[in-house]
Structures are given as C-alpha cells and as structure tokens.
C-alpha cells in the first residue's frame, strides 16, 4: 500500500460539451473528465494542465475544479482566446455522435507547453495525455528525459506504425477497441513493458501485461442516458485503482463500475 499520495497530472483537453437540443453547457474534455474521477480516491493527488479562454465555457470548467480537490496551477487562461467546445448529438439509445463541425479547438489547438509545464510533468508520478493532443510530441520529449510514467488514451486510432513508435515511452496504453485489435495489443504487450488496456463498450474490457490476458465484463446499466466520458471514467478509475496496489483485475472491475455510473447521467463525470 502506498505511504504517500500519487501525483497524477491530466492534460491537455479541457473543453465544454454543448448538448444539442437543450443547449446545456457542461465542462468536459478527457483531462477534466479523468481528473474529476481520479480525485475521488484518497491516495490520488490530481492536477490539471491545459489552456482555456476567459469565457462562459471556461467559467464552467473553473466551477467544476472549484468543487473538487484538484490543483489548477497549470490551467492557463488565455484572455483573448476561446475555450474549446464540443457539440454533442444523441441517438434515441443515448449513444453520442458528432457532426463535421462539432469540435471547435479554440486555445486548446494553439497552446504550446512552457518550461513550467514541463517542470510540472517531471514533478508528477504519472502523466495522462491523449494521442490526438497537439502537445503529444512535447510530452514524449519530456517523457524521454523524465522519470514519470505516461498514460495515453489512443481513442480509436488504428495507425499501428505511428502508435508503435511511441510505445517505448508509454506505460499505460488505453484504446477503444474491437476483437480485431486484440492480437495486436497482446503482441505489443510481449514486446513492450506497458499495460495494454482495450475497452469493448458493453462487452467489457481486456488487458494484456507481458502477454497475459485479463478479461472483465461491463457492469449492466438499466438505461443509457449519455455515453460522453464513459471511457474517461473507466481510465480514471482503472489508473487510480491500479496505482493503489498494482492489481490489474481489481483496476478493471473498478473501471467498469465507474463507467457504468457515468452512462446514467448527462456529461462526462
């Protein structure tokens, strides 16, 4: 059991989710969603890193942080910029979908990491980042020189060559997958010293460590309200539980439990 808290730095996606139909604005983005889950665990010390604007969506993000034990030292407010937004649409079954103009990157798309941001990464035990981050190359460069562990959400990426080039520097590999991807994840786990976790939506999740396979079912949900943030909830809970004692199966069960809760309400956490 850890004797001190684990410092988790979540970056860089801080955005506002705008739900079509109601126009409701809820704070979101992978970094915020995951951080708001991880900060629930007593052994986790959570910080955020990213850029937002001095606008209504940015204020919603600040309000979410205010309500939780999260360090915002490296949440940068760009006074003349716009917070990233994501307009979300829903099927009758509650599944979210997007349109070509759903995403507006704002200052998220243009922000470059500072020396102080790099120092914040190096001060963390674990850094969470997304594969599609405009700062991903900067994060990899910092990881090469630093001692923190890197967790990456590869989302639905399938460019195997590009992903494989990053794997020597990745410690926790998360991806939204399918059965066809599982042999690749297993093979990579035999070559790279990382945890490879593949979520399979309602069919649960599969994790590979050193070629060994772990499978856990999803927790049934009576009614799916919104799938926004479900994967982020799983990843935040998985990381937090794993970092407690290194139990892969327990981490997967915790991820499934928390993801099922997120499915039952609007918003990412």
Domain-embedded: residue 267: no
Percent of the chain residues topping a pLDDT of 90 = 85
- Contact between residue 16 and residue 60 where contact means Cβ atoms under 8 Å apart: yes
Check whether 227 has a pLDDT greater than 80: no
Domain-embedded: residue 196: yes
Mean pLDDT of 203-220: 96
Within 10 angstroms of residue 99's Cβ, the number of other Cβ atoms is 10
Direct distance between the N- and C-terminal alpha carbons of the chain, in angstroms, rounded to an integer: 27
Check whether 18 has a pLDDT greater than 60: yes
Number of domains in the chain: 1
> Which tops the pLDDT comparison, 228 or 42?
42
3-state secondary structure of 152: strand
Number of H helices, E strands in the chain: 8, 14
Domain-embedded: residue 17: yes
Q: Which pLDDT belongs to residue 241? A: 98
- Contact between residue 258 and residue 229 where contact means Cβ atoms under 8 Å apart: no
**CA angle (39, 204, 213) in 5-degree steps:** 95
Token duo for residue 159: 């460019």
Domain-embedded: residue 269: no
Domain-embedded: residue 193: yes
Q: Which pLDDT belongs to residue 22? A: 81
Residue 21: band (very low, low, confident or very high) from pLDDT cuts 50, 70, 90: confident
Cβ-proximal residues to 258 (8 Å cutoff; 6+ apart), any chain? 37, 233, 234, 236, 237
**Backbone dihedral angles phi then psi of residue 39, each to the nearest 5 degrees:** -70, -10
Q: Which pLDDT belongs to residue 3? A: 58
Domain-embedded: residue 268: no
The predicted-structure confidence for 139-189, as pLDDT tens digits, reads as follows 999 999 999 999 999 999 999 999 999 999 999 999 999 999 999 999 999
Domain-embedded: residue 84: yes
Q: Which pLDDT belongs to residue 80? A: 95
Check whether 2 has a pLDDT greater than 60: no
Domain-embedded: residue 31: yes
Check whether 74 has a pLDDT greater than 60: yes
> To the nearest 10°, the Cα dihedral for 181, 186, 192, 198?
50
Residue 221: band (very low, low, confident or very high) from pLDDT cuts 50, 70, 90: confident
Q: Which pLDDT belongs to residue 42? A: 97
Check whether 13 has a pLDDT greater than 80: yes
Bridge partners, residue 53, by sequence:
78
What's the predicted TM-score (pTM) here?
0.94
Check whether 1 has a pLDDT greater than 60: no
The predicted-structure confidence for 35-63, as pLDDT tens digits, reads as follows 999 999 999 999 999 999 999 999 999 99
Q: What is the CATH number of the domain that holds 113?
A: 3.40.1190.20
Q: How far apart are CA 254 and CA 222, in angstroms?
A: 18
Domain residues for the domain of 133 are: 6-262
Q: How far apart are CA 267 and CA 269, in angstroms?
A: 6
Task: Tell me if the bond preceding 12 is cis, omega within 30° of 0.
Answer: yes
Give the E-state strand segments of 32-115 in sequence order: 44-53, 70-78, 84-90, 96-97, 103-104
Q: How far apart are CA 236 and CA 31, in angstroms?
A: 9
Bridge partners, residue 2, by sequence:
none
- Contact between residue 142 and residue 119 where contact means Cβ atoms under 8 Å apart: no
């Amino acid at each position: 059991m850890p004797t001190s808290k684990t410092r988790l730095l979540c970056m860089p996606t801080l955005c506002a989710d705008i739900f079509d139909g109601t126009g409701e604005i809820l704070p979101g983005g992978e970094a915020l969603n995951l951080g708001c889950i991880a900060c629930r665990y007593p052994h986790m010390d959570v910080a955020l890193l990213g850029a937002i604007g001095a606008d209504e969506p940015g204020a919603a993000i600040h309000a979410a942080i205010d309500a939780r034990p999260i360090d915002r030292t490296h949440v940068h407010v760009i006074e003349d910029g716009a917070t990233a937004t994501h307009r979300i649409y829903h099927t009758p079954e509650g599944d979210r979908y997007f349109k070509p103009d759903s995403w507006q990157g704002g200052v998220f798309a243009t922000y470059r990491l500072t020396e102080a941001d790099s120092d914040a990464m190096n001060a963390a035990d674990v850094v969470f980042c997304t594969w599609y981050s405009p700062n991903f190359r900067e994060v990899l460069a910092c990881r090469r020189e630093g001692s923190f562990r890197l967790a990456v959400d590869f989302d639905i990426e399938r460019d195997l060559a590009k992903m494989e080039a990053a794997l020597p520097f990745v410690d926790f590999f998360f991806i939204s997958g399918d059965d066809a991807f599982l042999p690749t994840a297993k093979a990579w786990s035999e070559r790279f010293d990382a945890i490879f976790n593949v979520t399979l939506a309602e069919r649960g999740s599969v994790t590979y460590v050193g070629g060994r396979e772990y499978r856990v079912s999803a927790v049934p949900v009576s009614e799916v309200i919104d799938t926004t943030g479900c994967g982020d909830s799983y990843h935040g809970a998985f990381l937090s539980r794993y970092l407690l004692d290194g139990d892969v199966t327990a981490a997967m069960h915790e991820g499934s439990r928390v993801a099922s809760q997120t499915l039952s309400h609007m918003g990412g956490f």
